[in-house]
Amino acid sequence: MLFRSLVTSAIFAAIYGFIFASLVPGIARNIWLISFALLWSLGFLSILGFVYGRRLKKAFKGETGTIKWFDPSKGYGFLIRDKGGDLFVHLRSVRPEDRRKLRENTRVKFTVEDTEKGPQAENITII
């Protein structure tokens, strides 16, 4: 992803730099290189902000709650959100190192995903 954003921003910077250089006749080579570097860095930062900003937003979007009940042999259970309401918990949504520690009244942090069967807790970690 990082390499793709570098290449994409370099291509756009080269196109805009070429347009800028053709619009201003007699532009010095140093000014063209400076404009290319500025456009490249701005494009690269904006692409990184767009891509990784969504990931960061999703990471900080977590909620907290308490496990209502969870049966590892069945592979599912429910939790009570601090905001109110119950959410379904599937075994695949729990971190592997936390699966054996998940008991009733355990405090957890999670994200909510809308699935075809309704909202479900994902990325569950013990607090």
pLDDT, one tens digit per residue, over 78-116 is: 999 998 899 999 999 998 888 888 889 999 999 888 888
Looking at domain 63-126, its CATH architecture is Beta Barrel (2.40)
CA distance 127 to 102: 11
Q: What is the pTM of this model?
A: 0.53
CA 94 to chain centre: 18
Question: C-alpha angle with apex 14: 13 to 20, nearest 5 degrees?
Answer: 85
pLDDT tens track for 25-77? 666 666 667 777 777 777 777 777 777 777 767 666 788 999 999 988 898 99
